[in-house]
Amino acid sequence: MRTIDSNIIYTLLIITFLLSSACTKHNSKLKLKLNTIHFEECIKKEQGMKISEIAESIEYLELKTPHDIVISRILNIVLGDGFWLIHTRQGIYKFTRTGEFVKQIGRQGQGPDEYLYILGIDINPTRKEIIHADTQHILYYDYNGNFLRKVKINDYFFNIVFSDSVLWTCNLCMHIDKYMACALNLTGDTVTAVPNPNYGIESLNEGFSFATSSELREFSKYKENVYMKTRSSRDTVYQLSGTQWIPYLYLDMGKYQMPIEYEAWYSEDAYNKNAINYWNIPRLEEDDRYFFFTAVRQKYIQKGENENDCKFIIYDKKAKEGFVVKDENGMKITDDILGGPNFWPRWSTDNFYITTMEWSDLEQWTKEEKHILSPTLQEQFETWGEDTNQLIVLLSLIHISEPTRRS
């Protein structure tokens, strides 16, 4: 069986980008600045980090809802102009900045103003619209949650992000998808398509098969920038700007990059036998100083979040080195402000790192004698219980131009 080297894939992606660039009008301000991070080097070093090193404060936000609405298993969080949009398996909900329930957005069904699924959400701050991706439709609501319109899309896609007047969507990125991502205008027409390097490769499977990670997040944002990493982009993160896509970050996985021949969509048997030996980075967040990577084994050794299958990595842009975040307090970043469980960002905005936490996890944390909550968090904790919705944990970022972290 012929092995397709990851360097060849990366070269093909760059060539594809250059060829497509020749056919696209370019913004001269968007220049190629490709950063490279070596995964093998990052995982050689373990080092602790405290919340006070990256944040000015930490806040636990309770989402207050009517008794018939339960917020759990939050899939995405979007911060609007003074409000939160919360995407769960049950629906899309709007809350005030302080966690007060406002309303549910949209209604599931087959009517002209209804949806079948929620594949992604975002906002258009210019038009003050909420954007909701269904399987083959985009639904638009105003900031008050009133339905505006429903736009038909001619292809299936998964997830969505708004970037400078266009909507970027992405596919599962197997061999059957011609494009790994597309940019759509506000009427649903495709204005840019990013080729899928896996398209046309013949699969050895008899039926339809693929594997993905629950941690996978194709799009992320920081300040004015939007980033994309799909399964077929593999080790490359792209920066999106309007209709343009440009390689921004190269994740050199070294010996831990899984060959295409072991992908589940290519050969399920090969995947089951070999995937355990390789790693993937399904999501990343960024601030002025650091990249935060969640690395997971392509196929878990054991269930649940554990040291064998998960690594939480911080890369220091200034020092150009990375490390696995781990010390005597365990994995992730130690809360030295409120004394709560260790923190790891799942989402970010210009001013916050965000994650979610179940009340039961906080309760379990307090049962260990060495864990002492601050008076502020202890007072909050005593008002919560089994009926408490999933909590939002916010870190207020420190914006710095020069490093303050110890070396």
Helix (H) or strand (E) holding 39: helix 39-42
d(CA 261, CA 263): 6
- For residue 290, being part of any structural domain is answered with yes
- For residue 406, being part of any structural domain is answered with no
Split at pLDDT 50, 70, 90, the class of 222 is confident
pLDDT at 159: 87
For the whole model, what pTM was predicted? Answer: 0.87
Three-class DSSP category at 92: strand
Q: At 371, phi and psi to the nearest 5?
A: -95, 115
- For residue 1, being part of any structural domain is answered with no
Q: Which region among 27-36, 45-54, 313-322 has the lowest average model confidence (pLDDT)?
A: 27-36
pLDDT at position 107 over 90: yes
pLDDT tens sequence across 395-407: 998 865 444 444 4
- For residue 405, being part of any structural domain is answered with no
pLDDT at 23: 37
pLDDT at 399: 65
pLDDT at position 25 over 90: no
pLDDT at 302: 72
pLDDT at 301: 77
pLDDT at 213: 57
pLDDT at 22: 39
pLDDT at 400: 55
pLDDT at 300: 82
- For residue 219, being part of any structural domain is answered with yes
pLDDT at 214: 59
pLDDT at 6: 42
Name the nearest CA neighbour of 165 among 184, 192, 138, 143: 184
Split at pLDDT 50, 70, 90, the class of 18 is very low
pLDDT at 4: 42
pLDDT at position 386 over 50: yes
Q: Which region among 9-18, 126-135, 160-169, 338-347 has the lowest average model confidence (pLDDT)?
A: 9-18
Q: Which region among 210-224, 245-259, 341-355 has the lowest average model confidence (pLDDT)?
A: 210-224
pLDDT at 369: 78
Number of domain units in the chain: 1
pLDDT tens sequence across 367-382: 987 899 999 999 999 9
Name the nearest CA neighbour of 222 among 247, 234, 239: 239
- For residue 404, being part of any structural domain is answered with no
pLDDT tens sequence across 125-181: 999 999 999 988 999 999 999 999 999 987 777 789 999 889 999 887 678 888 989
- For residue 341, being part of any structural domain is answered with yes
- For residue 62, being part of any structural domain is answered with yes
257 burial via Cβ count (<10 Å: 0-12, 13-18, 19+): buried
Q: Write out the residue range of the structural domain in which residue 205 sits.
A: 6-22+30-397
302 burial via Cβ count (<10 Å: 0-12, 13-18, 19+): exposed
Q: At 60, phi and psi to the nearest 5?
A: -100, 120
Q: Which region among 99-108, 138-147, 271-280, 303-312 has the lowest average model confidence (pLDDT)?
A: 303-312
Q: What contacts 163, CB < 8 A, 6 or more positions away?
A: 183, 226, 240, 241, 242
State mean pLDDT over 292-306: 85
At 201, which CATH number? 2.130.10
